[in-house]
Structure 1
Amino acid sequence: RGACSPCPLMKTISCFCGKTYFEVPCGTEKNQKPPKCSKRCNIDRLCRHKLDCR
């Protein structure tokens, strides 16, 4: 029967804080890396160090 047609849905990939994001076609999100974020975020790092998240 052949391959399925491409999925029309999009998935959002975001940085750790969620302020920077982009959309990719459904099914390709597992191959994507989160975008680099240049904004200052207030989310604590998992290691608890007091460095700014970038």
Structure 2
Amino acid sequence: MRAHDPGEKHRVSTSLELLFDLCFVVAVSQASAGLRAALAGGTSTAAPGRLCAVAAGGL
């Protein structure tokens, strides 16, 4: 696989880039859903770990 020049006009994302983006979105979504469930369920011991997972996903 060859690298693309970011300055290239009409640059199109590769299938691999789109797959990575999709996996990232699903991972952040799952982590945030787990955080919401932990906070709603009152299990405060799991909440800090979930919060770190959501924060790390957003970087």
For Structure 1 versus Structure 2, the TM-score category normalised by the shorter chain is: under 0.3
Structure showing the higher helix proportion among its residues? 2
Structure showing the higher strand proportion among its residues? 1
TM-score by length of 1: 0.27
TM-score by length of 2: 0.26
Q: Give the greater-gyration-radius structure (CA).
A: 2
